[in-house]
């Protein structure tokens, strides 16, 4: 069992974030458990890379002096597994918002999907979703989007290190992707649909790796509380 001093000196905690939890909620659950276990008034706790509430999986949480190393983990490549639903798009590029357009899918073949996937390998330019936590003029972009305001979003370069199609059961495609930091998988789903002359949105997502850290070695917030005996 780790001691109070261990946590203050610095600990890396691998959390398997549940679906519909925010990254902030996961950090708060870990922070509460540490403070409760050791009767601490305060301890620094932070995460190294946000996961959307509609995504599950690996969240690296740093406690104590390890919070100074958060940027190291943020810079590491990430791996995700998920599902793209073809034939429909949403304003948020995922299931947070309702379908706003539907498209034909009759022309989409397995061969076309695999061929189109190749267009997304290497360095690509992508626009972040309007429903994102990026800031413009001190305000989150999703706040503008919810107010119905249109923004000019600049494309930026990201790197797709690997992209596998795991299963095709139209209109759904199951995939695994390895990418650089700053990559929006929601944008990949949206752009993939467009590249197929159809539409697409992200219908499920799970982060499986950050660098060499694997979600198989992570615990849920509930498990962490049990380990801490609180």
Residue positions annotated with a catalytic role: 52
- Strand 55-63 versus strand 200-210 pairing type: parallel
Give phi and psi for 100, each to the nearest 5: -110, -20
Give the containing element (helix H, strand E) for 115.
Answer: helix 110-117
By the 10 Å C-beta count (0-12 exposed, 13-18 middle, 19+ buried), 226 is classed as exposed
By the 10 Å C-beta count (0-12 exposed, 13-18 middle, 19+ buried), 178 is classed as middle
Q: Cα dist. 117→35, 156, 202 in Å?
A: 46, 19, 15
Residues 6+ apart with CB under 8 A from 141: 128, 130, 131, 132, 133, 134, 135, 151, 153
Contact of 104 with 93, CB cutoff 8 Å: no
Contact of 13 with 63, CB cutoff 8 Å: yes
Contact of 160 with 124, CB cutoff 8 Å: yes
């Amino acid at each position: 069992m780790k001691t109070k001093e261990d946590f203050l000196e610095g600990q890396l905690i691998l959390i398997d974030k549940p679906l519909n939890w925010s990254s902030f909620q996961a950090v708060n659950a870990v922070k509460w458990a540490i403070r409760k276990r050791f009767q601490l008034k305060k301890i620094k706790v932070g995460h190294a890379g946000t996961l959307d509430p509609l995504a599950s999986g690996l969240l690296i949480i740093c406690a104590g002096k390890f919070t100074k190393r958060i940027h190291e983990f943020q810079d590491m490549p990430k791996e995700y597994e998920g599902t793209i639903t073809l034939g429909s798009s949403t304003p948020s590029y995922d299931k947070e918002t309702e379908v706003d357009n539907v498209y034909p899918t009759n022309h989409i073949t397995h061969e076309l999907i695999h061929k189109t996937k190749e267009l997304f390998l290497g360095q690509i330019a992508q626009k972040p979703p309007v429903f994102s936590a990026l800031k413009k003029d001190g305000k989150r972009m999703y706040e503008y989007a919810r107010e119905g305001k249109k923004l000019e979003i600049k494309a930026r370069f990201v790197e797709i290190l690997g992209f596998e199609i795991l299963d095709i059961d139209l209109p759904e495609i199951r995939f695994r992707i390895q990418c650089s930091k700053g990559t929006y998988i929601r944008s990949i789903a949206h752009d993939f649909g467009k590249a197929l002359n159809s539409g697409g949105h992200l219908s499920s997502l799970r982060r499986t790796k950050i660098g060499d850290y694997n979600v198989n070695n992570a615990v849920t917030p509930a498990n962490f509380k049990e380990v801490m005996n609180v």
